[in-house]
Structure 1
Amino acid sequence: MVPEYRALLPGVLLAELDPDVRPARRTVRDWVVDVLAFLFSIIMVLVLMAASDEQGVTEGTLAIDALLGLACSVLLWGRRRWPVAVCLVIAIAGVYSVTSVGAAIIAFFTVAVHRRFPVAAATGVFGVAGGLVFPVLRPDWASSLFWVDVVWALVVTALILGWGMVVRARRQLVLSLRERAVRAESEQQLRVAQAQQMERARIAREMHDVLAHRISLLSLHAGALEFRPDAPPEEVAEAAGVIRHSAHQALQDLREVIGVLREGGDDDAPDRPQPTLADLPSLIEESRQAGMRVRLDREVPDLAAVPVGVGRNAYRIVQEGLTNARKHAGGSTVDVIVAGAAGSGLSVEVRNPWPVGRATSPAIPGAGTGLVGLTERAALAGGRLEHGRTASGDFRLWAWLPWPS
């Protein structure tokens, strides 16, 4: 049995299959069964004592027989912990004692239920062998035909063994079904946790892509105001308006992400529309308004014809490329190339000259995980992504995404 599921199952059921597992204490059902078994054994002692008295058994023999029967009845209280040992002791006592028959039946039935068939069968053979010795020690109870006693011993042992095996098989089935239910519930919880983790990772990627773009625009405009304090009022007002708009959008995006991550959020709330490749011209224009020099080479006639999932990934790659260009190559011209067709795939390229000399403005901090996230995004979409310095000295970010026909 798988260890992680054993701890979730009741000890009483585990004890049915594994001899090394002991329930910590008897349940109410166990107490009821044990009391009834003890009373049954005591009643058998009284009945067989009365029968022995009618057959003229001597008082000394009857007293020894009764004491052995009572002792075997008391031993039944330990049958759950030591079923085989208790059964063997009672079988030894049964070689002489008639009144121990009730205790012997219960003890052997317990072995048949709680132990595997080879162990139960060997215990039954031991009991039958003791039954063969009984007519020699107690001829007052022996049948006139020896083989009749042998047949009865075999039949009763086989019936008890078969009954015990049926009960054991049923309990094994119940335990197996319960274990499957526990495993299925645990696996379902694991799948839910994995789905939540994947969703949180997806949200984290979106947050990085969106907020990095917004905040880099804020930094760019704020830097322009800092280095040009004597700019005309119209330009200052325009830059301040862009800063206000970008800050508002960044706060809105951040509020939505936090709302999704917060436990107990409204799962039925509609998601904010995600950008597609048709929104790429707006992204380029937004970057141009921030002072970037961006050239767009669009070789796809209809950007809206690109599938939504492919277009969203392409949009995020271009967005991250522009953000990186603002961070590390401010003032340079950035080329954005979008090409491809249905069936052959969609390629996206963002290229800018490698920065030379000392930066003219403070560097925009970054976590350094943007390209890692883009690589993972492209791989999950079934594509590939490359980035690095080219032979001509440019920094090139290139990705290919599958575009089904």
Structure 2
Amino acid sequence: MKYVPIPIAMLPVGKPLPVNVWNPDGLLLLRKGQPIVSEQHRDKLYAHNASTTEAEAQAWQRSYERMVHTMLMEGVEVEQIARLPMPSAIRERDYMVGEQLNGGWMDLQEVLRGILYQGGLALNPLPRLAALENKARALLQADADDSLFCLFQALADSSLGYCATHALLCACVCELAAQKLGLNPQQRQSLMSAALTMNIGMAREQDVLARQNEAPTPEQRQLIQDHPQLSLKILVWLGIEDVEELDLVRWHHQPDSAEGLPHNLQARRLLSMTDVFVAKMAARRTREALSPLESAKSIYLQTEKEVTASVGGALTAAVGFYPPGTYVRLVSGETAVAVQRGLRANTPWVIVIVDKNGMPAFNYHCLDTADPAYAIASPMLFRSGKVAINVERVRRAREKIRR
């Protein structure tokens, strides 16, 4: 039987454990329902490499992810969630194999957030990350525009947490841009894996920073600076052996470093640029979000043109200046949401959501902004364009132009 190490540091003293605890050789250390009675007892379990079965580890992890998701939906501050121990109970449905990967992007977001929050203490992380990546790639291949729409919309919703949405969106953008650059399948796999995990060293703090009213403290700035190396250490500890993925994570803030793998340079630049591109589009309480167009421009201004030309061109070609899920104002004065990339980067298909009189629009029809009558006048910020959008109606409207 396969045993998985349990996160001893996240187990509360005095509360019953919802799993049997074994050593790696199959010797029972603690029965389900029994508590850790003291710190010394905890230390003893740690010394014996306390583990549980793979099935119970996966169910326990799902229970943790559900707990975190529920508390985020209830508005609990991330700092409080970050201090939570592992739950003391597991629901029966948490034992359903693969349940968390049968849904869409928000299901993946919930799973990934749990792994990123736990970092080096994550239960059975490698098979779960692999399954998550496979599902993400399948969703992206099935409908890239719908994938971008869901994730750019989620980026504007702070109640969902930021770290996992950022990671998934970076992974999708990197995969689409890497195809434009002609990177081979192995390079693209390493790149997507790195995008999902590059910020594991500061995942909880990412969500704290997204919600706090003050500028980053000196300690937070130091963590931002140090987190690539910390993420690298965590991934090595978890058992990641892909040297290209580890290289990408280590240098995603310094993509042109002379150290590391020279053949990975283009992928490094893409990951770094995508990381910044997505981050600039996420609002903070201390600053406004940038539109995708403004974010792309700011990256070009801060980096030498010859360095970014091919990578920036691929990124722009992959998602456009107005990616699905982002907002625009039309020359007619109407507010619309982009729902599908167009033939050119600046001509997406859109759906009007607010008419020129400021009233919500309820008839969803896809409009081609390549038509001068529906041309884009300017991008809009998430908050200024945010209205309730029915995703299923968006999908039905898109089906009419895809036939």
User: Does the alignment reach a TM-score above 0.5?
Assistant: no
| TM value normalised by structure 2 | 0.22
Q: Which has the larger radius of gyration?
A: 1
Q: Which has the higher helix share?
A: 1
